[in-house]
A = this chain, B = another copy of it.
Amino acid sequence: MDFSSYFPIWNQLTSDQQNKLSSGAVLRSVSKDTIIHNGSANCTGLLLVRSGQLRAYILSDEGREITIYRLFEGDICLLSASCIIRSIQFDITICAEKDSQFWVIPADTYRQIMEESTAAANYTNEIMASRFSEVMWLMEQVMWKSFDKRLASFLLEEAAVEGSDSLKITHEVIANHLGSAREVVTRMLRYFQSEHMVTLSRGTVTLSDRKKLEQLSHS
């Protein structure tokens, strides 16, 4: 599968626009834990994920993190090209959670196409609205949901992404996803273990009672 089959509105572009995009896009392969885009440092371009998994997060001045969304095969990241839309006034960091392949579409190329094509401009609206919706969901979680429920939801989501109930993940990494501190995660996981919802061992969290976790996350 090549670039054109991954790019969602390919057939709505003129052949000139298609040429610009496919000649501008560069395929990159990175290994797990590579930082792909770093806050305000640069305008990396749009990312179109071919394989693997990326994570977008924000950082506090003290170095705390919270995941704002994740990108899987076929997803597009717009916020790594925030220079194309003047009103985007915040910085995110993007790193590879797994070995990943993605195309980088230069910001200038995309901006030109957005200025010519209503299909591209409206598609950009849809991407931004999706990410905005994810952040609003997260906002509601952070505001109204207690930490035990958020942790239960995260473990269930992670098990779905990994296709396994046995998660190789440290308490530190979980804390960085949820915008919390490692000690808080450790304390809550121990409580979950005492309630027979998970089993803990070095570097692994195993979901031992999904039903109970689901009840907690929806309560």
Contacts and interface: CB of A to CB of B under 8 A. Distances in A.
A40 interface: no
A139 B143 CA distance: 9
Given A122-B114, A144-B62, A136 B90 contact: yes
A212 B125 CA distance: 42
B142 A139 contact: yes
A142 B144 contact: no
A130 interface: yes
A204 to B, nearest CB: 28
Interface string A64-108: 101010000000000000000111111000000000000000000
A87 B133 contact: yes
A206 B86 CA distance: 37
A191 interface: no
A81 B103 CA distance: 33
Contacts of A122: 114-115, 121
A143 B66 CA distance: 9
A156 interface: no
A60 interface: yes
Contacts of A68: 139
B130 A139 contact: no
A150 interface: no
A210 interface: no
B142 A143 contact: yes
Contact of A85 (B58, B87, B126): B126
10 shortest interchain CB distances as A-B pairs: A121-B121, A87-B129, A89-B133, A90-B136, A60-B144, A87-B130, A88-B129, A87-B126, A132-B132, A85-B129
Given A114-B118, A132-B135, 12 more contacts: A58-B140, A64-B144, A85-B126, A86-B126, A86-B129, A87-B130, A88-B132, A115-B122, A116-B118, A125-B128, A128-B128, A143-B179
